[in-house]
Amino acid sequence: MELNTNEKQELKELYKKLNNLYKERAKLEVLKKNREESLKEEIASVCEIKNKQGETDAKRVKMPLINAILDELYKEKPNKKEEEISLYETYKEAISRNKINKDCITNFLSSTESLNENAAFIKESFKDSTLLSKEVLDALSALLKEEYKLHLNDALSKEGYEIKEPKDNAELEALKELIKGLVG
């Protein structure tokens, strides 16, 4: 793809503008992170959230819950957590009052347990390797995960599930390299 002189100039100007905006965004993200840590410390202190040693433990403050509360109280947005709790209660009642077919539940739990066992076997198989380096094992893992996705998509499509085709990023990558060359 070839750009004319005007396109190249506009691209350079837009790159410079957006690059500055992203630099500003990075600074804002750090500022937000610092303020989030202060808020978590304050909440942990006021709500007496402590670790096993009895010290205030801000790491145990759940920010998604805090964000939901702040959205509700300060931004007048509906509280998604309350909606989720309502759904939770509806589902729990249906399951606990045996309104849901027991075989459905048992079969689902069995599948989940089988997946957990399979994940443990995979992890253990990697641990069994004594000669291969971590880098080789990481590469093997990445390769196997790609192949797993292909197997999974094949099995899902055979069962009639719709599969999203992976995006071909080759053209995007080529354009990124071209832009780096023009603005760099």
Q: What is the pLDDT of residues 156-176, one digit of tens each?
A: 999 999 988 777 888 888 888
Task: Tell me the whole-structure pTM to 2 decimals.
Answer: 0.62
What does the pLDDT read at residue 157? 92
Query: How many beta carbons lie within 10 A of that of residue 83, not counting itself?
Result: 11
Say whether pLDDT at 1 is over 80: no
